Each structure stands twice: as C-alpha cells, then as structure tokens.
Structure 1
Amino acid sequence: MSDAVINGLAGAGGGIISQLITYPLQTVNTRQQTERDPKKEKRKLGTVEQMCQVVKHEGWDRLYGGLAPSLVGTAASQGVYYYFYQIFRNKAEATAFERKKKGIGDGSVGMFSSLVVAALSGCVNVLLTNPIWVVVTRMQTHTEKSQPSQTRSIVSDEAIVAAAEPPPYGTNHAIQEVYDEAGFLGFWTGVCPTLFMVSNPSIQFMLYETLLKKRKERRASSKKGNNDITASEIFLLGALAKLGATVVTYPLLVVKSRLQAKQLIGGDKRHQYKGTFDAIMKMIHYEGFYGFYKGMGTKIVQSVLAAAILFMVKEELVKASRWLLTKDAVNIARSKPP
C-alpha cells in the first residue's frame, strides 16, 4: 500500500471522528454566518445559548442536520486532500533532493513549496467535493420557518380544517431544492470563495509542518536525542496551526456560506446575492466589516478542536497502518522456505 493511500485513508478516518465530535458547533456556526438581518435588535445569543435554543424549538436532531452528507463529504474531502497532498509532497521532496545533489539547498521542502503543495491539493479537493458541501449548508441552515406555507384540507363533512405535517427535510429535499434554483451548476455555488479558501489549509499545513519540523529539531538536539512526537504534541501543533489559518481566512468562509444557503427569493434585495463580488459589496454596504466575522468565536472553537483531533487521529492511524504493514511483511518473509 502506497504512502499516499495510507495518508488518504488515515485522513478520512480522522476527519470523520473530528466531525462527529464537533458537528453541533459547526451547525450553530453556519447559522451565525448566514444571519442576514443587520438591524436585528434582540440580544445576540452565545454559542451555548443558541445550541439550547435550537434544541428547545427544533429538537436535538436539528443540531445534526446534514450529518450524513457531511460525513460523506468529510471522508471524501480528507481522503482526496491527504492523498493528493502526499503525492505532491513526495514530488516536492524528490525535487528538493535533486537540487541538493546539485549543491542547491539542504534537501528539505521549504515553506513556499509546502504552501504550493497544500494549495494544489486544496484546489483538487474543492472542485471534486463542492456539491456535497452545498447540500450540507442547506441542511444546516434549514429551519421550520423556512418551510413553505402548509396546505390545508377539509377532512370531514363538518369542515374541520387540519394542517398537514410537513415532510422531514432530508438530503433528497436539499438536492432537489438546489437543482430547482440553479440547475446542475448550482452545486458549484460558492466555488470561487471556496477556491480562495484553499489558502486556509495551505496556511494551516505550512504552519503545522514548520512547527512540527522545529519541534523535532529541538527534540533531536536535546540530550535524549529522541525526535518522536507524542499524540498530545500533535494535538497542540494542529490546534495552533488551525487557529492561525482560521483568523486569516474567516471572511471568505462567511461569504461562501451566504452563497450556498437558500436565497430569499422575493424578499429583501439586500439578502439576495448574484455572485461572490455582489455578496461582498452588499455585506460591506449593509452590515459593515463586522458581517464578515459573524460567529468567528464559535468557528475558532469548532475548527481548532476538529483540526487538533484530526491531526492526532490521522498521525496515530498512519503509525498503526505502517506498523501493521511492516509486521505483515516480516511474517510473510519468515513464512517463506529457505
């Protein structure tokens, strides 16, 4: 099994686990990002308060709205990203090694090369998985208030009128809704800011690789001479890397969520976006720069925790996979007759 496949599968596993743990925070954050009333007078709810409000008025299941497609998207995104990241990383390392043989550089992959590798991997990931995230955003932001008015029908000769219960809003409903609004290309709504968002994992991995390299060098230069990194250190390094990347790129994430959420057709024109540039200009005009940072506190908690868990689980899965493959290879070698 190639190193790229191992990293891809480990990344998918780590992504699923981190998603399951942090999903309610992600749902609340998406709702905060897509809140479009700049003159809302009532007190802004905190993250925990908003979660309680969702549970009280809509039920526990709404905190996990879109979980199924989100898990598919997470597995696909992390698998695709880590697979291509490892392929591009291997090529970058081979190039650095060739340059070293020619007397150029020290043979290690520099910061800029790490940034390019992460960016290329992110672009491939975005183009392949954007439709999944459009559906997930629709399901996370759906509320009973957004349901069309319920039909009424006479159910007896005594003219008793009963309101029909709306069917549960599921993945098929979200897919049909997106297609009815914008056709097949609607599943790539928000792809432009999302492509710019590849700078987030690019910055994240650049910071992560840099911090990891420095930590290993410091550990190797210590008296013990052991450069093995523990799971808790990976957790901390992943958290710090994601924190830096999130603060820098958060406005792009808000614009992407606004574009992918259900557009308020026939409503206030301030809440209807024709594209990325139109969304940015309307947000600046009607909400100010504050609008680009709605829910950032929730996002920092959610994304930093998710990234830290992902890095920790992914690294442990990679270690376990390599150990199993090495053990199997040794057993096969021993079983062969001399």
Structure 2
Amino acid sequence: MSDAIINGVAGAGGGIIAQLITYPLQTVNTRQQTERDPSKSSSNSKDGTLNQMYQVVKQEGWGRLYGGLTPSLVGTAASQGVYYYFYQIFRDRAELASLARQRKGIGDGSLGMLQSLVVASLAGSVNVLLTTPIWVIVTRMQTFKKKKKALQKHPLPSVCSEGRTVVAEPSRYGIFDVIKELYDEAGLLGLWKGVFPTLIMVCNPAIQFMLYEAMLKKLKKDRASNMKGAEGLTAVEIFLFGAVAKLGATFATYPLLVVKSRLQAKQSLHLDARHQYRGTWDAITKMIRYEGILGFYNGMGTKIVQSVFAAAVLFMIKEELVRAARFLLTRSVVARSNSSKSKQSR
C-alpha cells in the first residue's frame, strides 16, 4: 500500500472524528457568517456562541445543531481523503526534485516553506474542484431554520413580496430538496456556488501545512534526529502543532470564508437587494458598504475554537492512524518473510 493511500485513508478517518466532535460549533458558526443584519450578528465571545446554541435548541430542537451532518461527514471523508492523497503524491514528487537538485549541489535536499506552500495549494485546488458540491449542500442545510412546532401545525401562508410569491420554509429539508433548489436556481453550476472564493481559500490549508511543516522541520533540527514526517513525535506535540498552524491560517483567511458562506447560503427572495449577491465581488462590495469591515469577521471567535480544535484532533488522529498502518504493514511483511524462510528450510 502506497504512502499516498495510507495518508488519504488516515486523513479521512481523522477528519470524520474531528467533525463529529465539533459539528454543533460549526453549525452555529455558519449561521453567524451568513447573518446579513449587523444588529443581529452574534457576539464573537464565548457567551454569544453558547447563547446562540441555546436559542437553536430552544426554538428548533437539538437536531438542528446537527443539520446536514450526513453530507458533512461524507464531505469531510472525501475532502480529507482527496487532500491527503494528492498532498502526499505532490510532496513525494517535490522531494524527489529537491534531492535531484541536491545531487547537483543546489540546496540541502529538503523542502522549503515556499515549496510546501505550493504542494499544499495544488492538493487543495484539486480537493476544492472535486468536493465543492458537497459543501454547498452542507451550508444550505446548516443555515436552514426550522419553524417552531406551534407554527408547523398551522403552516404560514405564502406572502407576496415585490410582486413575487414567497412560500414559507418547509419543515423538512433534506439532501435532495437542496439539490433540487440549487438546480432550480442556477442549473448544475449551482452546485459550485462560491467556488471562486473557495479556491482562494486554498491558501488556508496551504498556510496551515506550511506552518505545520516548518515547526516539524525546526523540531527535527533541534533534536538532530533522522525522523521522517511526524514519526517520533508524541500525540500531544502533534496536537499542539496542528492547533498553532490552524490558528495562524484562520486569522489570515477568515474574511474569505465568510464571503464563501454568504454565496452558498440560500438568498431569500423577500430580502432587499443589499442582502442578495450576484457573485464574489458583488458580495464583497455590499458587505463593505452595508456592514463595514467587521462584517467579514462575524463569528470568528466561534470559528477559532471549532477549527483549531478540529484541526488539532485531525492531525493527532491522522498521524496515529498512519503510524499504526505502517506498523501493521511492516509486521505483515516480516511475517510473510519468516514464513517463506521457514518453508525453504524444510
């Protein structure tokens, strides 16, 4: 089994576990990002996040904190699997190129920060193009707001807004409902809404991996060891490195994440023009005009807690799974070798 496959499967497993642990925070954060009215935007403090979680449970039930969990888990497994698979492939090729340059007397044979950034960006771009439809569906399901039970017994009638009929939100909102809604809005391209800022957001995991690899490289140098990758590190060290790397990447790219979520969320017809976006640039200019720069940082406190913790858990579990897989494969090879020698001796 190749290193790329091992890393891909381990990344998918780590991502699923991290997602399960932090999903309620992710749901609340997506709602904070897509809130158009500055007066209703949740505070970035811990109390604001907890209060919004309480309000979701009180008004819509516990289930809404896990709205879109199924496609999200599928998306996480696919995204992490695709990302780590292609990351390892691109990294292996970059390392071979670096070793080739070393033989010519150029460099020390290791990857620099810029090379790590390029490798991570390429892997991220492939991942975005393949998995964006899944995340558009997840965003729609996370931002769907279920009506109170009392109102569900007596559904709200359709209302008229600017000559258009707007039907009240359904109480059930599944994957196929979202797909149909997106197709009705923009055809097949509706599944790739927000892909442009998402491609730019590739710099988030790229910066994250650049910082992560830089910290690993420095630690290896300090220890003067012959470790490869993260081998030899404790789970706690990997957890802390993953957390610090994600923290830096989140600070740098959060405004793009808010724009992406705004484009992917459903834009109700009854909203006025300032809350409807025709594209990435239109969303950016309207947010600056009507919400100010702070609008780009809605829910950042929640995101930092959720993403940093999730990334740290993902890195820790992924590296442990890679280590376990390599150990099992090595033991299997040794066992087959011993068995072959035993048969030959007979």
Counterpart in 2 of 1:238?
242
Deviation at 1:165, TM superposition (A): 11
SS at match of 2:173: coil
Deviation at 1:37, TM superposition (A): 0.8
Counterpart in 2 of 1:16?
16
Confirm or deny that 1:217 pairs with 2:221.
yes
2:304 to 281, 300, 307: 300
Counterpart in 2 of 1:193?
197
Counterpart in 2 of 1:280?
284
Confirm or deny that 1:82 pairs with 2:57.
no
What CA distance in whole angstroms lies between the structure 2 residues aligned with 1:229 and 1:171? 41
Counterpart in 1 of 2:174?
170
What CA distance in whole angstroms lies between the structure 1 residues aligned with 2:40 and 2:235? 44
Structure 1 gaps, min length 5 = 153-163, 222-226
RMSD: 2.1
Deviation at 1:150, TM superposition (A): 3.0
SS at match of 1:104: coil
Structure 2 gaps, min length 5 = 158-167, 226-230
CA deviation map 1:143-202 (0-9, x unaligned): 0259999377xxxxxxxxxxx995521111111111111111000000000000000000
Counterpart in 2 of 1:150?
155
TM-score, with structure 2 as normaliser: 0.89
2:93 to 87, 91, 94: 91
Q: Give the AA of the match of 2:25.
A: L
Change in CA separation of 1:242 and 1:331 when aligned onto 2, cut-off 3 Å: same
Counterpart in 1 of 2:185?
181
What CA distance in whole angstroms lies between the structure 2 residues aligned with 1:14 and 1:239? 14
Counterpart in 2 of 1:137?
139
What CA distance in whole angstroms lies between the structure 2 residues aligned with 1:66 and 1:284? 30
What CA distance in whole angstroms lies between the structure 1 residues aligned with 2:41 and 2:237? 44
Deviation at 1:327, TM superposition (A): 0.4
SS at match of 1:144: coil
Q: Give the AA of the match of 2:107.
A: G
What CA distance in whole angstroms lies between the structure 1 residues aligned with 2:308 and 2:249? 10
What CA distance in whole angstroms lies between the structure 2 residues aligned with 1:333 and 1:203? 43
Counterpart in 2 of 1:6?
6
Q: Give the AA of the match of 1:204.
A: Q
Q: 1:27-176 alignment to 2 at 5 Å?
A: 27-40=27-40, 46-145=48-147, 150=155, 166-176=170-180
Equivalenced residues, count:
322
Q: 1:241-320 alignment to 2 at 5 Å?
A: 241-320=245-324
Deviation at 1:267, TM superposition (A): 2.1
Deviation at 1:97, TM superposition (A): 0.2
Q: Give the AA of the match of 1:175.
A: I
Deviation at 1:5, TM superposition (A): 0.3
What CA distance in whole angstroms lies between the structure 1 residues aligned with 2:296 and 2:139? 17
Q: Give the AA of the match of 2:322.
A: V
Q: Contact conserved, 2:43 with 2:49, CA < 8 A, in 1? A: no
1:207 to 211, 214, 217: 211
Deviation at 1:79, TM superposition (A): 0.3
What CA distance in whole angstroms lies between the structure 2 residues aligned with 1:46 and 1:192? 30
Deviation at 1:220, TM superposition (A): 2.9
Deviation at 1:90, TM superposition (A): 0.2
Q: Contact conserved, 2:146 with 2:171, CA < 8 A, in 1? A: no
SS at match of 2:106: coil
Change in CA separation of 1:40 and 1:307 when aligned onto 2, cut-off 3 Å: closer
Change in CA separation of 1:203 and 1:43 when aligned onto 2, cut-off 3 Å: closer
Deviation at 1:135, TM superposition (A): 0.2
Q: Contact conserved, 2:42 with 2:52, CA < 8 A, in 1? A: no
Q: Contact conserved, 1:216 with 1:228, CA < 8 A, in 2? A: no
Change in CA separation of 1:203 and 1:166 when aligned onto 2, cut-off 3 Å: closer
Change in CA separation of 1:279 and 1:17 when aligned onto 2, cut-off 3 Å: same
SS at match of 1:150: coil
SS at match of 2:37: coil
